[in-house]
Structure 1
């Protein structure tokens, strides 16, 4: 197997399907841009995330969101074309270009909520500056 880590933008919203065996799989595409100027090009990876993690993350894996995906890479042939595929072991949300009026991305807000301890904490008790690993991507 070939292990690979990529960082890029999601090209289309994630879709969760159920296989004939009853397993859940969430599929999404990630574009990785390389080069600069006239030699700039984008490689697209078809990513799959299996199980309940994929189901839970699907709402945040939307077009334009920036992610880091690690997993096993392979290729598949279809209609004479070769597609790069990545079976995701880990997905990290980095934020995205889907910003609201407050300037914070939907995926950054989701990552912030996921890191908050649950319990009796009042709303607004956690500030963005208390989370050192959730930078503001602009």
Structure 2
């Protein structure tokens, strides 16, 4: 038996980017910065950010996209996906997270006129693999 599960908590580094697959399935792409404590050369603990690319598919991507804004704190439960491709005759690869569950885990955002984060329990079986 193999287990492919990852849970991260951090802040979005920028607003979500929406796109669609060839079949028209909505995809929300975003990056989460997760602070990891590390010792520096002086032996002091400092935050070392780890940037994790995430993808959310289907109805949830469409409904949650307006709330996935830069600085928003989220908790992600998902699975790792390894991708590789060639661009400009150079092999490239990346490790990213396919989101199964997303929770807004921060306090209230500063009042900017944005709608409050929804309390939705959406589950979408339309992930394309």
TM, length-normalised to structure 1: 0.66
SS of corresponding position for 1:55: helix
Alignment check: 8 A CA contact 1:65 1:96 kept: no
Q: 1:35 maps to which residue?
A: 37
Is 1:88–2:90 an aligned residue pair? no
Are the structure 2 counterparts of residues 75 and 96 from structure 1 closer, same or farther at C-alpha, using a change threshold of 3 Å?
Answer: farther
Q: After alignment, is 21-30 or 91-100 more displaced?
A: 91-100
Deviation at 1:24, TM superposition (A): 1.1
Are the structure 2 counterparts of residues 93 and 3 from structure 1 closer, same or farther at C-alpha, using a change threshold of 3 Å?
Answer: same
Regions of 4+ moved over 2 Å: 36-40, 74-84, 95-98
Unmatched segments (≥5 aa) in structure 2:
41-45, 121-129
Are the structure 2 counterparts of residues 30 and 51 from structure 1 closer, same or farther at C-alpha, using a change threshold of 3 Å?
Answer: same
Structure ranking higher in helix proportion: 1
Are the structure 2 counterparts of residues 31 and 55 from structure 1 closer, same or farther at C-alpha, using a change threshold of 3 Å?
Answer: same
CA RMSD of superposed structures (Å)? 2.8
CA shift digits 1:83-121 (9 cap, x unpaired): 3300000000113684128xxx957x323xx37xxxxxx
Q: 2:51 maps to which residue?
A: 44
Alignment check: 8 A CA contact 1:15 1:28 kept: yes
SS of corresponding position for 1:95: coil
2:61 aligned to which of 40, 54, 60: 54
Q: 1:17 maps to which residue?
A: 19
Deviation at 1:3, TM superposition (A): 0.6
How many corresponding residue pairs? 109
Deviation at 1:20, TM superposition (A): 1.1
